[in-house]
Chains A and B, each alone.
Chain A
């Protein structure tokens, strides 16, 4: 297992290199001259030339690529054109906001999705099964922006139960430490703010969780249906074991590999910035950050944002790969 992890980690290097190359290529494929963008249309050719030189843009592409790579490895993601601030320090609060939201959304999705899937499989063809699967179908098909608006209209405007926008109240802002507000409020001992942060999380987390919940529920159902028919489930019954226990302990562990795959993919997607949800709920996450950067044609930010999202996606799947072995001893890591 240890050697496998090391080997798998080494195998990430070419993947990550390829990823940086693609991101680099995309940015270079965009027409237009950065120097021209920075200096404006009235810049003299000399000024453009000297800026190109100081930015290193007169070098051949591979030299540019390696200096780009060197920058990334030293933690330098460049400077935002819009704010002139270093991206590396600017992006973290946004990333933290997305991580917090995705984490809560995934907890909801895993909990609701797995349970709905299990009950559907256990009580196959019952009213419960049909209800759960119709809801799952609606869940996958419902556009997130519409669901988000519906939630805001219902729970924020009509019922006035929950806030509709942002991570915290403007007049009662969280003083950040890690930028993960749930942790920060606890670190500062502000339970009232902790509760406020949770209230802000509920609506966007539910909107964000719908699709993963539905996908996880359907995957759990089909995987469980297969497992529940197997001989070892009959053996467990013949021992006199309770059905609840059989389903949740015996069957679920066997059915978990495909569910884990889906959870991994969905987590990667959510962390990659749920642009729609973040825009609707004014959630200052990476999605919104990149969305704004695109509006301002802030290429360094777009480039770094894509790079970080791709990096997170690769890492989540790496972790999922390692987890497989935890659930199924037959998966041998050589």
Chain B
């Protein structure tokens, strides 16, 4: 994990609605290195997907707009790049797979047409080479009958197969970064595991860095190297996966870990974090998590903590002062 491929600096993305500006992503920093799998976790509405769409330059605009910060790809600021430049990067350098495999493929074109288009857009290959490459890709993602599949339409495939096709399409030009926005949420559990295994395998074989966006910490534990925990548009904790799981610093991360169902546990009720994610921009001052925090202190309601630490960073006063365990005892 040497070279930094993608660096997000102080990214702020807002949606301009009739009720005014809603900051969906509010000043986040993180970076992705070559060959790394970075997890971005958080509840629905915390800004995970908006972050990924901001990177791709695919925000629905209007109403969405990047209002501050920078996104560097190999040192080039792409947050304000021209559309023509972004088109060259999309699919070729940074590829993306989406949450909904059922609706993400065009229903009126064959798998072959859609795959070959992705290949053709960034490579000069003959028709025959395109077909060969497509078959190779379908085999790479573990689809049987690759040749016949090319002539089939998306509705003839199952959800898992379609997601494999989506992955094949994303991998078609050997991207440096693959953004996976909840790729397994819409699939059933056994298929989920297969798709995750496939992504880990691709990461190992092709050294493509993966940004894994998910709300499922189990997925993070299974495949990611590092993880970024987002809450209400901000990063609350960041660090190596093992470190975060063994010593979560932020009460929110701790809550997320505690709420994973444990097969060996004897508890009847699963742990829940009380309350729900605040609407972006609705908390004017103090820590965004304060209203739901078990360890809330007076100053949490007045001042907002900064993200601090070197490798394992967190945004919580508990850690910046005494360290967590003392407070506990």
Which of A's residues lie within 8 Å of B, judged by CB? Answer: 230-232, 234-242, 250, 253-254, 327-330
Most buried by A among B86, B89, B117, B169: B117
Q: How far is the CA of A330 from the CA of B154 in the complex (A)?
A: 9
Residue of A nearest to B169 (CB): A239
Shortest CB distance A260–B (Å): 13
Q: Is the CB of A254 within 8 A of B106?
A: yes
Q: How far is the CA of A30 from the CA of B96 in the complex (A)?
A: 70
- Scan residues 141-163 of chain B and give those whose CB is less than 8 A from a CB of chain A: 153, 155
Q: How far is the CA of A237 from the CA of B61 in the complex (A)?
A: 14
Shortest CB distance A235–B (Å): 5
Q: Is the CB of B56 within 8 A of A253?
A: no
Q: Is the CB of B106 within 8 A of A239?
A: no
B136 at the interface (CB under 8 A from A): no
Q: How far is the CA of A242 from the CA of B120 in the complex (A)?
A: 13
Shortest CB distance B88–A (Å): 7
Q: Is the CB of A238 within 8 A of B105?
A: no
Q: How far is the CA of A77 from the CA of B124 in the complex (A)?
A: 62
Measured between beta carbons, the chain A residues less than 8 angstroms from B86 are 240
Q: How far is the CA of A250 from the CA of B107 in the complex (A)?
A: 10
Measured between beta carbons, the chain A residues less than 8 angstroms from B259 are none
Q: Is the CB of B108 within 8 A of A254?
A: yes
Q: Is the CB of A238 within 8 A of B103?
A: no
Measured between beta carbons, the chain B residues less than 8 angstroms from A230 are 103
Measured between beta carbons, the chain A residues less than 8 angstroms from B100 are 231
Query: Which listed residue, B96, B122, B153, B170, touches A329 by the CB 8 Å rule?
Result: B153
Q: Is the CB of B117 within 8 A of A232?
A: no
Shortest CB distance B210–A (Å): 15
B95 at the interface (CB under 8 A from A): yes
Measured between beta carbons, the chain A residues less than 8 angstroms from B88 are 240
Q: Is the CB of B105 within 8 A of A241?
A: no
Shortest CB distance A38–B (Å): 58
Q: Is the CB of A238 within 8 A of B90?
A: yes
B87 at the interface (CB under 8 A from A): yes
Shortest CB distance A152–B (Å): 44
Measured between beta carbons, the chain A residues less than 8 angstroms from B217 are none
Q: How far is the CA of A330 from the CA of B155 in the complex (A)?
A: 7
Residue of B nearest to A232 (CB): B106
Q: How far is the CA of A232 from the CA of B155 in the complex (A)?
A: 13
Q: Is the CB of A239 within 8 A of B117?
A: yes
Q: Is the CB of A239 within 8 A of B118?
A: yes
Q: Is the CB of B121 within 8 A of A234?
A: no
Residue of A nearest to B106 (CB): A232
Measured between beta carbons, the chain B residues less than 8 angstroms from A231 are 98, 100, 103-104
B295 at the interface (CB under 8 A from A): no
Given A240-B87, A250-B109, 15 other A-B residues pairs in contact with their CB atoms under 8 A: A232-B103, A232-B104, A234-B98, A238-B90, A239-B90, A239-B91, A239-B117, A239-B121, A240-B90, A240-B92, A241-B117, A253-B108, A328-B108, A329-B153, A330-B108
